Structure 1
Amino acid sequence: MRLLLIRHGQTPSNVKHLLDTAEPGPALTPLGQEQAAALPQALAAERIDALYASTLVRTQLTAAPLAAAKQLDVLVRDGIREISAGDLEMRGDDEAGETYITTALAWSAGNTELRMPGGENGVEALGRFDAVVEEAAKSGAETVAMVSHGAAIRMWVAARAENVSAEYAAAHILRNTGVVVLDGSPDRGWRVLLWEGRPLGPEDVVPGTSGPAGEAVGTGDADR
């Protein structure tokens, strides 16, 4: 299966660098609306068989133009919502942002029992995202697009793709409406083909799973 993981368009909380992860969440800014409107053209070459979005408003608004262009219903699933910020919710300081993304990428590196302060742990976060991907794979669709969230996408991809480590995900921010393209299945595993349009080669693979490198963690992109 070809899997397209798309981050939602810009929101007011992104502009303010806030960890805004609760439902229903904010709508899109005017720029975010333009980004969503540009997705059909950007993905015109993709034959998308199924389109998913999370339960947060911003992903559904981002998915709407693509759904119209591809004549698809948007399948709303809680499992691909953003990682809950817990006690860090609506904070915009650097310490909170670093704690949030470092915890999420520690799950990717294997420390899945670690819990977000006041929130979920890696077993829970990966499990719910896995369930939606498995549902899509069992549907028989050849190409599936999922509009999700920056931290959730980076965390899941680094945990499940054989050629992307936590270190790589820590060092590569996923911008609003950025797309990660993967090939594989829940049984065979996953491999990233494109990260925001850039093919991944052997030189991009960071060996080891020691966890995210602190100096590479950006605090402005964790779906804030």
Structure 2
Amino acid sequence: MRVRHFSAILFSGLTSTSPLACRQAATNTSAAPSAGATPGTSSGSGGVDMAAAILAIMPSSSSCSGAQFPDECRAAQQAAPFITKACADLSPGECAATVALMGLESVEMKAKHNISPGRPGQGTANMMMPNFVSQYATSLFGADKVAGKSPAEVLSMVTPDEHNFGSAAWFLATKCTADVRASLKTGTDAGWAAYNKDCIGVNGSLPERMAYWTRAKAAFNL
């Protein structure tokens, strides 16, 4: 299994988009939750204010004001309740890693679907490839609800916020080995490296990826 990370140079795998292209994204029309939603905390958040942690990891997520395509964008405070729920069964280290990944892959929550090369059906906050999107949708709704739908239709099932922000946690729980998860629980660079290499399929030491992880470690007090 491989993933693509956000760069003008695309890597082979789970995700693929460039930051510029994502900032030009627009197709998802799910309604944005109230910006006044209460962030809350969970076992996965380690007691931190999730909205503040997201903002620290994704500096541009303070607001969607002026966003070219607001239906794709979520601010930190809007996403916080959903990410808090997704992290409920994760350790702080695992939660931090999934938030860092989402920040990178969605251009800080500016996009919910792949823009470049425009692969139909690829998306969610961690930009899963269509096969994983289909598996995720099946886990949520059952195979009978997914059967016969196009990749784009299946993606639309999981891009409402309550599912979109749970995709990275689902992927970690279902696609990462116990050894990777144990390493991530340490909250170390070694855990991040193992998560990227052995679960996502990319080099976690790439500068852009390390920048998100470094901010995540600080935000989650790791």
Q: TM-score range by the shorter chain?
A: under 0.3
> TM-score, normalised to structure 1's length?
0.26
**Greater strand content:** 1
**Greater helix content:** 2
Q: Which one scores higher on RCO, CA 8 angstroms, separation ≥ 6?
A: 1
